[in-house]
Amino acid sequence: MEGWALLSLVIWLPIIGGLIVLVAGDKLSRPAALIFSVITFLVSIPLWTGFDPTSYQMQFEEKHTWISSFNMFYHLGVDGISMPLLLLNTFITVLIVIAGWEVIKKKPAQYMAAFLIMEGIINGVFAAQDAMLFYIFFEAMLIPMFLVIGVWGGVNRVYATIKFFLYTFFGSVFMLVSLLYMYNKSGSFAIADFYNLKLGMTAQVLIFLSFLIAFGVKVPMWPVHTWLPDAHVEAPTGGSVILAAIMLKIGGYGFLRFSLPMVPDAARELTWLVVFMSLTAVVYIGFVALVQKDMKKLVAYSSIAHMGFVTLGFFLVYAIYRNTGSYEGSVLAMQGGMVQMVSHGFISGAMFLCIGVLYDRMHTREISAYGGVANTMPIFTAFFVLFAMANTGLPGTSGFVGEFMVILASFKASFWIAFLAATTLIVGAAYTLWLVKRVLFGGVANEEVALLQDVNKREFLFLAVLALAVLLLGLWPQPLTHVMGASIQHIVELATQSKLPGVN
User: Alpha helices, DSSP H only, in 153-263?
Assistant: 157-186, 191-195, 201-218, 227-234, 237-242, 248-254, 260-262
Among 2, 69, 363, 443, the residue binding another protein under the rule CB under 8 A is 443
Half-sphere exposure (CA, 13 Å, Cβ side) for 27? 0
Helix (H, G, I), strand (E, B) or coil at 67: strand
| 106 belongs to the binding site for another protein (CB under 8 A) | no
DSSP string covering 254-321, please? Answer: HIIIIIHHHSHHHHHHHHHHHHHHHHHHHHHHHHHHHT-SBHHHHHHHHHHHHHHHHHHHHHHHHHHH
Fill in the per-residue mask, 50 to 79: x = in contact with another protein (CB under 8 A), - = not in contact: ------------------------------
C-alpha–C-alpha distance, residues 496 and 317, integer Å: 8
Residue 125 CA to residue 247 CA, distance in Å, equals: 10
Which three-class secondary structure state does DSSP give residue 145?
helix
Enumerate residues 79-98 that contact another protein by CB under 8 A.
none
User: Which of the 8 DSSP states describes residue 329?
Assistant: T
Q: Which is nearer to another protein, 80 or 100 (CB)?
A: 80
DSSP 243: I
Among 477, 483, 487, 491, binds another protein (CB under 8 A): 477
Q: Give the Cα separation of 75 and 133 in Å (integer).
A: 8
Interface with another protein, residue 437, by CB under 8 A? yes
Q: What is the DSSP letter of 368?
A: G
- Contact 308/278 with Cβ under 8 angstroms? yes
Q: Give the separation between CA 34 and CA 49, rounded to whole angstroms.
A: 23
Site string for another protein, 131-170 (x = CB under 8 A): --------------------------------x--xx---
Q: Is 372 in the site for another protein (CB under 8 A)?
A: yes
Distance between CA 306 and CA 431 in Å, rounded?
A: 13
Question: Contact with another protein (CB under 8 A): which of 89, 335, 343, 391?
Answer: 335
Asked if 364 touches another protein (CB under 8 A), the answer is no
Q: How far is the CB of 202 from another protein (least distance, A)?
A: 26
CA-to-CA distance for 460 and 296, rounded, in angstroms? Answer: 20
What DSSP line would sit under 462-487, residue for residue? Answer: HHHHHHHHHHHHHH--HHHHHHHHHH
Which residue number, 60 or 301, has a Cβ lying nearer to another protein? 301
325 binds another protein (CB under 8 A): no
Nearer to another protein, 101 or 170 (CB): 170
Give min distance, CB of 297 to another protein, in A.
Answer: 10
Check residue 272 for interaction with another protein (CB under 8 A): no
Residue of 412, 455, 483, 487 that binds another protein (CB under 8 A): 412
- Of residues 54, 156, 196, 226, which one binds another protein by CB under 8 A? 226
Q: Are 81 and 135 in contact (CB under 8 A)?
A: no
Contacting residue, 276, 287, 460, 486, with another protein by CB under 8 A: 287
Of 31-39, 181-189, 232-240, 385-393, the window that binds another protein (rule: CB under 8 A) is 385-393
Compute the least distance from the CB of residue 54 to another protein, in Å.
14
> If binding is defined by CB under 8 A, does position 440 make contact with another protein?
yes
Residue 244 or 285 with smaller CB distance to another protein: 285
Site size for another protein (CB under 8 A) = 68
CB of 166 to another protein, least distance (A): 7
The verdict on 328 binding another protein (CB under 8 A) reads: yes
Answer yes or no whether residue 389 interacts with another protein by CB under 8 A.
yes
Which of 6/358 has CB closer to another protein? 358
In degrees rounded to 5, what are phi and psi of residue 30? -65, -55
**Least CB distance to another protein at residue 180 (A):** 24
| Of the candidate residues 16, 38, 418, 472, the single one contacting another protein (CB under 8 A) | 418
| Those residues with Cβ within 8 angstroms of residue 456's Cβ, 6 or more apart along the chain or in another chain | none
Residue 60 CB contacts under 8 Å (≥ 6 apart), including other chains? 6, 7, 47, 50, 76, 77, 78
CB 400 to another protein: min, Å: 8
Compute the distance between CA of residue 318 and CA of residue 325 in angstroms, rounded to an integer.
10
Q: Are strands 72-78 and 59-67 parallel, antiparallel or unpaired?
A: antiparallel
Residue ranges in contact with another protein by CB under 8 A: 163, 166-167, 223, 226-227, 284, 287-292, 328-329, 331-332, 335, 372, 374-378, 381, 385, 389, 392, 394-396, 400-401, 404-405, 407-408, 410-412, 415-416, 418-419, 422-423, 425-427, 429-430, 433-434, 437, 440-444, 450, 454, 475-478, 481-482, 485
